[in-house]
Chains A and B, each alone.
Chain A
Amino acid sequence: MPGREILKIDNLSVAFRTEAGLRPAVNGVSLSLVSGEILGLVGESGSGKTILSLAAMGLLPQNAVVTSGRVEFAGADLLTARPDVLRKLRGKRISMIFQDPMASLDPVFRCGDQIVEAILLHERMTRRQARERALELLQKVGIADPARCLRSYPHELSGGQCQRVMIAMAVACKPDVIIADEPTTALDVTVQKQVLNLLRGLNREIGAAILLITHDLGVIYEVADRVAVIYHGDLMEEAATADLFAAPCSDYTKALIASMPSASAPQSRLPVITRDGSGMISSAAEDRPAAKPKPAINGASEPLLHIRDLTKSYWVRENALATPRAFRAVDNVSLAIPPRSTLGLVGESGCGKSTLSRLVMRLIEPDDGAIEFDGRNLISLGREEMRAARRDMALVFQNPYGSLNPRQTVTDLVAAPIDIHQGGRDREAAVAKLMDAVGLPRNAMKRYPHEFSGGQRQRIVIARALALKPRLLICDEAVSALDVSVQAQVLNLLQDLQDEFDLTYLFISHDMSVVRHVSDMIAVMQKGRIVEAGPAGEVFDNPKAEYTRTLLSAVPKIGNADPIALEAH
């Protein structure tokens, strides 16, 4: 019965009550969800996509006000429906899958009990029958050992398995509509692929319409039938997936697609979304200031950082009674980074790439191996010598919200390395210069981190890392927490800074397209080992290791995202 309209959002406007009056979050958005289809809703953080999905569930927060419009489902307006009506609909006819599967399952109940609970709330059946149904569902969502999974607590399962349990709960009562809010954002690419396939399969099988909310255009391209693009609470465009990617109509969509690293040539400057005074959105890729020629990377040039046979094991035990065994987080890793080049390190979560970055900084002591930095073995250094050696290397963290002390002003934050190593000499002047270098206004110096957006915070982190003109910058998932358009700005900044300060990067990421964009050399890591390393183009175009091929094929790609084709529009 395709074509039946199930959920209809009609001219919906939502605003938040603030002290300064109403702040609009969603402006007059109309969408309709047809049975059996997957509608992708794309937008960056703060665009109002989550608010829209909450409105569709009747779950708007207390301080949100609906200023106009209605959400029609099964003949009722969900915005004005009574709580008991909503309760009957939720879970039974509309269900939701959340972003972080680990956080949305209750940690103190077994997974099986949680699914059974969801079934018993809406269906008249015995606990035993519900349990059988749960077992069936877990089989259906592709869990290898459903009986064991029923008995497990959420923390005993992996992120992908937890998300499967969540999906099983969501489809337990054969709902008409499933709202999936960033269902794969917290998962690895290979797991993401499995979960997306599962969602699409279930969509075919039970015929539920899925509203898939995501910031990742690749995910949309892979699974959605239709796409709606939302920006600052306004619906920019709605089209069939193939049409949208082939010929985006709105400027914002064009700019958004263009700012994806996979849409541009590697190491080129990424177009950035700009909005001029009249609200016109455009995608601008200003030319890079003439880049200094890179020194040729050949075997003869002495590497700045040379890691040899680095090993770190942790003692882990399966349960409290088991004998502990060694888990090799980093296993015999050897890498060399020539000066003024970028080594990209890719791998999935838990592969040991973050441990490796901490080992290089000696924040964790390695068991074995050597870390040669500029000809000196860092491992042989004493406490004070190592402290002094930290001047030359800096770490940029993944989470710009966690890596800045909320109690310090930007000046204090950025000047921290100067305070530590130079007793705070000329800190104000140095910070002012750094603010210019990373493109932040000077009046930001007196403010606190919470007053900045994610991208701006990451600029503060980068400014701090550059304070003492280090030679090596380790970027641990430095852009993973950022929106595509902000990510493009930060990647551009990193490239400019490499030219300006002759930096060497160890760029760690799980995102293949980002790594491809920035790296000269790429190393692929799996279970603590480097399975493949080589020049970026070679690794991507002609992968040798089986694992690299698996990773590459799992990345959601936009088929015809050819930069030339895009520019033609």
Chain B
Amino acid sequence: MKTFLPFRHPLVLVSLLVVTTVLGIALVGPVIAPHDPLAINQNAVNQASSTQYLLGTDEFGRDILSRLLVGIRPTIMVAVISTLIAAVGGTAFGIIGAYSRPVMAFFVMRAVDIMLSFPAILLALLAVGFWRSGIASLSVVIGIIFIPQFARVAQSATLQVIRQEFVEAEHAMGARYLRVVFKAILPNILSPLVVQGTLTIAAAILLESGLSFLGLGIVPPEPSWGQMIGTARGYLNQNPMYVVWPSVCLAFTVLAINILGDALRDHLDPRLREN
């Protein structure tokens, strides 16, 4: 009987713990936060760690720990939803761009190029103009922004896979288009996509802070990690730890997701799977 994968690899186990903790806090964050994350205290601006404020306070005297705990939920939701949108859309575009009639492939990949050249800020402003600001619209915008990168990765991987004989074998057996895509192509391009996915999660969290600036998504004073890092950069002199805490949280979460992504990739590949 095989032991459950994480128990054979301490690193994977730790990563799994980190991710579960983050997800757990996303659920209960507002309840366990020691302070009101929005409460301003003019007497305690930019303070270092103390017994009252464990991780110090920000430029308005708000408790950083509470803001971190409460900020997880929007951060994680935006990151996960936008990555899913980018992964599904981008992979579809990429596979069509590599494995379909040349005319079709040409137009799909040129459409991807246009998306790639479209400034993210402009897209965000468009969305703000048409849409109510919120996590949904933010996720969609970030998802669309990351589609071209997924499409590029998926396309080049697909181009390599369809040159292999087992794809020709599927054709020779009379397989239909969708069978070839789902049985032959998709499982074999998964590794680069998983890596791209873990990178996208991290990038989406950072992009979220930039777009929040434009009033899209999580509008201040509501906290989110990306937004906190963005603001803290202006207060490096007054309170250096202000930028460290959210950055450390983000770094460890992303690292854990990366390790899990790698473990997932290895597990999905029968050649790398340990028996």
* Residue positions of A touching B, CB distance < 8 A: 358, 361, 363, 386-388, 390-391, 394-395, 397-399, 402-408, 412, 416-417, 419-421, 448, 450, 461, 464
Using known A-B contacts A390-B172, A394-B172, determine if residue A405 contacts B271 with beta carbons closer than 8 Å: no
Can you give 20 A-B contacts (C-beta < 8 A)?
A: A363-B172, A386-B174, A390-B172, A394-B172, A397-B168, A403-B165, A403-B166, A404-B166, A405-B183, A405-B187, A406-B188, A406-B271, A407-B269, A416-B173, A416-B183, A420-B173, A420-B176, A448-B270, A450-B271, A464-B169
- B184 within 8 Å of A (CB atoms): yes
**Do residues B165 and A399 form an inter-chain contact, with CB atoms below 8 A?**
yes
Point out the residue from A361, A390, A394, A408 that lies within 8 Å of B183, measured CB to CB.
A408
Kindly state the separation between the CA atoms of A408 and B172 in the bound complex, as whole angstroms.
17
How many A-B contacts at CB < 8 Å in the complex?
69
Kindly state the separation between the CA atoms of A214 and B258 in the bound complex, as whole angstroms.
45
- B171 within 8 Å of A (CB atoms): yes
Kindly state the separation between the CA atoms of A421 and B169 in the bound complex, as whole angstroms.
14
- For A394, list chain B residues within 8 Å (CB): 172-173
Point out the residue from A388, A405, A461, A464 that lies within 8 Å of B174, measured CB to CB.
A388
Min Cβ gap B211→A in Å is 37
Kindly state the separation between the CA atoms of A399 and B169 in the bound complex, as whole angstroms.
11
With A405-B187, A407-B270, A450-B271 given, name 10 new contacts (CB 8 A): A363-B171, A394-B172, A404-B166, A404-B169, A407-B188, A408-B187, A412-B183, A420-B175, A448-B270, A448-B271
Point out the residue from B168, B174, B187 that lies within 8 Å of A420, measured CB to CB.
B174
- For A386, list chain B residues within 8 Å (CB): 174
Q: Which 7 A-B pairs have the closest CB atoms?
A: A390-B174, A407-B187, A448-B270, A403-B165, A402-B165, A387-B174, A395-B172
Kindly state the separation between the CA atoms of A180 and B173 in the bound complex, as whole angstroms.
41
Residues B133-178 near A (CB distance < 8 A): 164-166, 168-176
* Residue positions of B touching A, CB distance < 8 A: 164-166, 168-176, 179, 183-184, 187-188, 268-271
Min Cβ gap B191→A in Å is 11
**Do residues A405 and B172 form an inter-chain contact, with CB atoms below 8 A?**
no
Kindly state the separation between the CA atoms of A349 and B271 in the bound complex, as whole angstroms.
32
- For A408, list chain B residues within 8 Å (CB): 183, 187
**Do residues B169 and A397 form an inter-chain contact, with CB atoms below 8 A?**
yes
Kindly state the separation between the CA atoms of A361 and B165 in the bound complex, as whole angstroms.
14
Kindly state the separation between the CA atoms of A397 and B173 in the bound complex, as whole angstroms.
13
Kindly state the separation between the CA atoms of A133 and B231 in the bound complex, as whole angstroms.
68
Kindly state the separation between the CA atoms of A405 and B270 in the bound complex, as whole angstroms.
11
Min Cβ gap A279→B in Å is 27
**Do residues A405 and B168 form an inter-chain contact, with CB atoms below 8 A?**
no
| B contact patch SS | helix
Kindly state the separation between the CA atoms of A421 and B174 in the bound complex, as whole angstroms.
8
**Do residues A361 and B188 form an inter-chain contact, with CB atoms below 8 A?**
no
Min Cβ gap B6→A in Å is 20
Kindly state the separation between the CA atoms of A405 and B190 in the bound complex, as whole angstroms.
13
Kindly state the separation between the CA atoms of A498 and B8 in the bound complex, as whole angstroms.
49
Residue picked from B172, B183, B184, most chain A C-beta under 10 Å: B172
**Do residues B269 and A397 form an inter-chain contact, with CB atoms below 8 A?**
no
- For B174, list chain A residues within 8 Å (CB): 386-388, 390-391, 417, 420-421
Kindly state the separation between the CA atoms of A407 and B191 in the bound complex, as whole angstroms.
12
Point out the residue from A398, A416, A461 that lies within 8 Å of B170, measured CB to CB.
A416
Kindly state the separation between the CA atoms of A398 and B184 in the bound complex, as whole angstroms.
19
**Do residues A397 and B175 form an inter-chain contact, with CB atoms below 8 A?**
no
Min Cβ gap A464→B in Å is 8
Point out the residue from A361, A416, A461, A464 that lies within 8 Å of B175, measured CB to CB.
A416
**Do residues A417 and B269 form an inter-chain contact, with CB atoms below 8 A?**
no
Min Cβ gap B174→A in Å is 4
- For A464, list chain B residues within 8 Å (CB): 169, 173
Min Cβ gap B124→A in Å is 38
Residue picked from A390, A397, A402, A405, most chain B C-beta under 10 Å: A405
Kindly state the separation between the CA atoms of A417 and B166 in the bound complex, as whole angstroms.
13
Kindly state the separation between the CA atoms of A399 and B168 in the bound complex, as whole angstroms.
12
Residue picked from B165, B187, B188, most chain A C-beta under 10 Å: B165
Min Cβ gap A307→B in Å is 17
Min Cβ gap B99→A in Å is 15
Point out the residue from B169, B179, B187, B188 that lies within 8 Å of A403, measured CB to CB.
B169
Kindly state the separation between the CA atoms of A404 and B170 in the bound complex, as whole angstroms.
10
**Do residues B164 and A361 form an inter-chain contact, with CB atoms below 8 A?**
no
- For A397, list chain B residues within 8 Å (CB): 165, 168-169
Kindly state the separation between the CA atoms of A407 and B267 in the bound complex, as whole angstroms.
11
- For B171, list chain A residues within 8 Å (CB): 363
Min Cβ gap A421→B in Å is 7
For A467, give the chain B residue with the smallest CB separation: B173
Min Cβ gap B160→A in Å is 12
Min Cβ gap B53→A in Å is 51
Point out the residue from A387, A391, A395, A448 that lies within 8 Å of B169, measured CB to CB.
A395
- For B168, list chain A residues within 8 Å (CB): 358, 363, 395, 397, 403
- For B188, list chain A residues within 8 Å (CB): 405-407
For B166, give the chain A residue with the smallest CB separation: A405
**Do residues B179 and A402 form an inter-chain contact, with CB atoms below 8 A?**
no
**Do residues B169 and A406 form an inter-chain contact, with CB atoms below 8 A?**
no
- For B169, list chain A residues within 8 Å (CB): 395, 397, 403-404, 461, 464
Point out the residue from B166, B170, B173, B271 that lies within 8 Å of A402, measured CB to CB.
B166
Kindly state the separation between the CA atoms of A6 and B169 in the bound complex, as whole angstroms.
50
**Do residues A390 and B173 form an inter-chain contact, with CB atoms below 8 A?**
yes
Residue picked from A395, A398, A416, A448, most chain B C-beta under 10 Å: A416
Min Cβ gap A361→B in Å is 5
Kindly state the separation between the CA atoms of A412 and B174 in the bound complex, as whole angstroms.
16
Kindly state the separation between the CA atoms of A464 and B188 in the bound complex, as whole angstroms.
20
Min Cβ gap B167→A in Å is 8
- For A399, list chain B residues within 8 Å (CB): 165
- For B175, list chain A residues within 8 Å (CB): 416, 420
- For A417, list chain B residues within 8 Å (CB): 173-174
Kindly state the separation between the CA atoms of A299 and B272 in the bound complex, as whole angstroms.
55
Kindly state the separation between the CA atoms of A473 and B172 in the bound complex, as whole angstroms.
11
- For A398, list chain B residues within 8 Å (CB): 165
**Do residues A420 and B179 form an inter-chain contact, with CB atoms below 8 A?**
yes
Kindly state the separation between the CA atoms of A388 and B174 in the bound complex, as whole angstroms.
7
- For A387, list chain B residues within 8 Å (CB): 174, 176
Residue picked from B174, B175, B179, B271, most chain A C-beta under 10 Å: B174
- For A361, list chain B residues within 8 Å (CB): 172
For A389, give the chain B residue with the smallest CB separation: B174
